[in-house]
Structure 1
Amino acid sequence: MTPNRGKARGLPLRPRPASITSTTRHTGDARLKGQLSSLAIALGLLLGGTTSAADADLRDILPGFGAAPGCALAAHRDGERIGFAASGLADIERGVPIDGDTLFYAASVSKQFTALAIAQLVAQGRLSLDDDVRRHIPELPAYRETVTVRMLLNHSAGLRDSLSLLRMGGYPSAADATMAQALELQLAQLDTNFVPGSATAYSNGGYLLLAEIVRRASGEAFPDYVRRHILDPLGMSDSFVLDDRDPVSDHLAHGYVRGDAGFERRDTYPRFGGSGGLMLSLNDLARYEHDIEQGQRVWTPEIARIMTEAGVLADGSPAFRDDTGFVFAAGLMLGTRLGHTAIQHGGGAEAFRHLYVRLPEQRLGIAVFCNRSDQPVQDMVDAAIAALADPAPGVLAGAPAPGHYRSPELRADYRLRGTGHVLYLDILPDAGAGEPVTVELVRRKPGRYEGRGLTLLHEAGENGFRLSTSRVPGVRVVPAVEGAGG
């Protein structure tokens, strides 16, 4: 591992060096240009001790975790770091704080790097998105329909989930299995969850197979391929893909869960790549962001096209993920956040929770990484977007009218404020039943708002709305009758 480059605690908005302002591809000394670009990023990340307005915004979003595991939150605009905040400890036992160099297990944020490796091989003509997976992995059973590389990327293959199979097969955790063992179990499955191409279901198994395709098509071990062709060219020198061994680094974030006697370490994630496996720092993620927006050494226009192509099922319908309103692409999901076009992917393990979101029209990237799984990363990202992005148009179809509402079943009044992407619901319990509370609800798709475990649902023409939790679905809330008691 390289020495600590210092905390990126606050990075000012600054003029971009002339060598990296253009995304136009030029002939000439590409190596020198790449070195200058990497130097410019490194200099920006070393500007510790300076602060920006964005730093203050991000610090306000993060709770004060103190001597507990916590989170790091980073913001980028036009490929430049504009803000960073961190709170909590990466390693409780050693008292090491989280900073920009902290290496997190990236969980499913890793999937876009697996997809990027596939996209590179497609761009080079070494495989096709429409290849039968059995062309590259002939041991895969012949299922009801052909499974293509594209289906693996957009979760429409119907493959059984590899991590679930490991649990069902008796492995205490994913950390107890090797990649070879996970592959053997995956290739032993005689059927799929549905006819390939007919539906979507999030599957780590598909990305396990994609990593194996990279290995066979390139002739390189998957961790080596990612390092040589993605991480090293971008100067992401601290990050790496696990190779069936425990990660070793002075900057490692351990994962923790809350137990009876305090926080307990839970590094139970897989030690191999594909669906996860990437160890990633937010300073290295800044280098990746820079390449997307400015460098285009790895994230070329052709790669961008492959990565952000919305998935489509065999019947021509979009490859939606459940009811989130997001569509699967290649290691990414496409949709909207707070009214902005969004490209994103989250990640989670027993003791980690992350979300990395890009708003391409705003050229804004937000990432929050936590070494604990009990933090509302969706809400943190939305709060950062609200603070840093230009406002989106306000009034939307599918939003219930603001005003005063009542639920006789819940014995509470409600005051609804806002008509756009964020609603505020004031819950006013009847006398003696509790204190008033305000819940911020963020629009996930037309007619659906979520926040703090509460979901507000509203259909066009509906007189009122419904409130739901995971255990109480659809309690009706109707306009209050003015002057009525309650």
Structure 2
Amino acid sequence: MLWRLIAGLAVLGAALGSVTAQADAVDDYVAAQMQRQRITGLALAVMRDGQIVRAQGFGLANIEHHVPVHPDTLFKTGALGMQFTAVATMLLVEDGKIDLDASVARYLPNAPRKWRPITIRQLLWHTSGLPATPNGEFRADYTDDELQAIIGKEELNFAAGTRWRFSWADYIVLGFVIRKVTGEYYGDVLRRRVFAPLHMATARPIDEIVIVPNRASGYEWREGTLRNAEWVSPTANSTADGSLYLSVLDYAAWDAGVFARKVLKPESWAQIAAPAQLASGGTYPYGPGWFQENVGGHAAWRHAGAWQGFKTFAIRYRDPALTVVVLANSDNADPAAIARQVAALTEPGLAQAKVQPLPNADAAQARALLTAIQAGAVDKTAFAYLAALDLRETLAEYQGILQPLGPLQDVALFQTLKLGDDDAAIYRARYQGGTVELRISTAPNGKIGNLELSLIDAWDAPVYP
């Protein structure tokens, strides 16, 4: 009964919650994906040259009260919100309050000695070496100093500036820096200097206590059962790694500001656009708050987020100047796949062809690693530049993905590429219960320097960086 109701609301999305009232291929595609992925609710917006061409909602913002999603429904951003923290940091650089190449210890005097080589720029770029997560208790409240001390006790993954690894802790620490130099919470800086000037009317920091109109609930699937997202403390919902509420209308206003290069000076936008620089002289395709890609000749900035039953994704293509944002309140949603397909339906030149494995390519390493991950028997000496905490948490997460899928049926290599100083390989594996993509980055010393695993829709789906 529930899924019939959600499917019905998805089909009616264009009529009930849309700037564009005419049903079309996008509506049909999104409605089908919501049913296939079992997504409770979703909002999307499409902007061309900084102007909205589509904004609509599908499904339910709140299942218990049967509240539909509309374009003004608010979703938690997760790490999609890092791009705003990056802009707040650059505003303070313009104010002369932050030096990008200064040590974080200049602003956080009680930082551990091992943080002294880490610069603000490296935090923005994820080249600091800090652990991926703060490793605190999500149900406990901490002061900034207490949470900083927890992060500071963890081992670094690598020497500052030598490698790239995505880290929520990087942006949490940036939030500490912003408060130190301004005396304000980072979310209040954003309200005053970004959200208000760009007319992001309902964008705001997360606050579970106050009354927030049009706030969606987040939902998680656990053992085949849909449930409300687990409760976390106010601290966990206030860090600068993306503790924000946004609607797709708010994001459209933000996109218009980015398109017109508002809020920041041109030289600051140039810093946002610059890829991460490594000590070796190489680069990694990540600018402050944005991954960078070029697929089929189409350059784009993109970022995703996941937090408390919400999944988010936005992609900004340079030519054509098209942006798609998808916000969902289901932890099993794949907003990136939906956003890319909506972009292709809107601008057919962005469509990417289906792919096949590389001929005669050896996939033995991937097969052995997947088997070991599923069994919980990984040889940790095969890895480098991953501290014990990060490696343990990564392998546990990936084991949780693989175990329900059943027997491994096939593994193949689909693409090789250079990422920073590493040689990266993208594999896909078919299991009885689904298909996954495995990305292995091999460091110059021959060991695994980074590992990413995710469920994907199809064996032959386009490969993206």
TM-score by length of 2: 0.69
Q: 2:345 — aligned with what? A: 387
The reply to whether residue 204 of structure 1 matches residue 168 of structure 2 is yes
**SS at 2:340 equivalent:** helix
Match of 1:127 in 2: 98
Q: CA deviation at 1:361?
A: 2.1
Does structure 2 retain, via aligned residues, the 8 Å contact 1:257–1:372?
Answer: yes
Q: CA deviation at 1:139?
A: 0.9
Shift in CA distance, 444/61, structure 1 to aligned 2, threshold 3 Å: farther
Deviation at residue 254 of structure 1 after TM alignment = 1.2
Instruction: Decide which of 182, 187, 205 is 1:223's aligned counterpart.
Output: 187
Q: Is the 1:58–1:84 contact (alpha carbons within 8 Å) kept by the matching residues of 2?
A: no
Q: Write out per-residue CA displacement over residues 243-296 of structure 1, whole angstroms, 9 at most, x where no aligned residue.
A: 6x54631311111123468421005462203112111111111110111123x4
Letter in 2 for 1:192: L
Higher mean alpha-carbon deviation, 258-267 vs 115-124, is at: 258-267
Which of 146, 151, 158 aligns to 2:122? It is: 151
Q: Is 2:14–2:57's contact at 8 Å kept on the other side of the alignment?
A: no
Distance 1:82 1:443 in 2: 34
Distance 1:181 1:281, change over 3 A: farther
Matches within 5 A, 1:61-460: 62-64=33-35, 69-143=40-114, 146-163=117-134, 165-166=135-136, 171=137, 174-178=138-142, 180=144, 183-186=147-150, 188-189=152-153, 191-242=155-206, 246=209, 248-259=211-222, 262-268=225-231, 270-294=236-260, 296-319=261-284, 327-337=285-295, 339-389=297-347, 391=349, 400=358, 448=426, 453-455=435-437
The secondary structure found in structure 1 opposite 2:193 is: helix
Contact 2:34 2:40 in 1 (8 A): no
Kindly state the Cα deviation for residue 81 of structure 1 after the two structures are TM-superposed: 1.1
**Code of the aligned partner of 1:303:** S
Which residue number corresponds to residue 434 of structure 1?
Answer: none
Matched letter for residue 125 of structure 2 = N
| CA-CA distance at 1:123 after TM superposition | 2.1
Q: Distance in 2 between matches of 1:191 and 1:357?
A: 33
Q: Which runs of 5+ in 1 are unaligned?
A: 1-7, 12-45, 320-326, 402-408, 410-440, 458-468, 473-486
Report sequence identity in percent.
Answer: 24
Q: Structure 1 residues 246 and 106 mapped into 2: Cα distance closer, same or farther (>3 Å)?
A: farther
Q: Which amino acid aligns with 2:299?
A: T
Identify if the C-alpha distance between structure 1 residues 182 and 144 changes in structure 2 by more than 3 Å, giving closer, same or farther: closer
Structure 2 CA distance for aligned equivalents of residues 146 and 449 of structure 1: 35
Give the drift of 1:350: 4.4
The structural deviation recorded for 1:362 is: 1.4
**Structure of higher RCO (CA pairs closer than 8 Å, 6+ residues apart):** 2
2-side partners of 1:184 and 1:393: how far apart?
44
Give the distance between the partners of 2:166 and 2:329, measured in 1 at CA. Answer: 23
Partner of 1:50: 21
- 8 Å Cα contact 2:90-2:268 kept in structure 1: yes
Out of 180-189 and 357-366, give the one that drifted further: 180-189
Q: For residues 301 and 10 of structure 1, what CA distance do their matches in structure 2 show?
A: 38
2: distance between equivalents of 1:262 and 1:350? 16
Q: Is the 8 A contact 2:39 2:333 kept in 1?
A: no
CA distance in 2, matches of 1:202, 1:471: 15
Q: Unmatched 5+ residue regions in structure 2?
A: 1-11, 360-366, 368-412, 419-424, 440-451, 456-465
Decide which moves more: 252-261 or 276-285.
252-261
For the structure 1 residues 10 and 91, does the alpha-carbon distance in structure 2 shift closer, same or farther, using more than 3 Å as the test? closer
Q: Aligned partners of 1:266, 1:341: CA distance in 2, in Å?
A: 35
Residues 115 and 331, structure 1, Cα contact 8 Å, conserved in 2: yes
The separation in 2 between residues aligned to 1:178 and 1:241, in whole angstroms, is 17
Structure 2 CA distance for partners of 1:256 and 1:397, relative to 1, 3 Å: closer
CA separation of 1:306 and 1:53: change in aligned 2, threshold 3 A: farther
After TM superposition, give the deviation of residue 99 of structure 1 in Å.
1.4
Counterpart contact for 1:199–1:313, Cα < 8 Å: yes
Q: Is the 8 A contact 1:65 1:88 kept in 2?
A: no
Cα distance in 1, alignment partners of residues 183 and 454 from structure 2: 50
Of Structure 1 and Structure 2, which has the larger fraction of its residues in helix?
A: 2
- Compute the displacement of 1:242 (Å): 3.0
- Contact (CA 8 Å) 2:151, 2:169: kept in 1 or not? no
1:66 is displaced (CA, Å) by: 12
> Residues of 2 paired with 1:62 and 1:91: CA distance?
19
Residue 9 of structure 1: how far off its partner (Å)? 6.3
Q: Give distance in 2, aligned partners of 1:261 and 1:449.
A: 27
Q: Is the 8 A contact 1:57 1:387 kept in 2?
A: no
The equivalent of 2:444 in structure 1 is none
Counterpart CA distance in 1 for 2:317 and 2:454 is 33
Q: Is the 8 A contact 2:81 2:242 kept in 1?
A: yes
Q: How far off its partner does 1:347 sit? A: 0.3
Contact 2:306 2:331 in 1 (8 A): yes
Asked if 2 retains the 8 angstrom alpha-carbon contact of 1:242 and 1:277, the reply is: yes
Residues 178-204 of structure 1, C-alpha deviations (whole Å, 9 max, x = no match)? 453763434542642211111122111
Match of 2:407 in 1: none
Structure 1 residue 360 displacement after superposition? 1.5
Alignment-mate amino acid for residue 249 of structure 1: V
CA contact (8 A) 2:26 2:342 kept: no
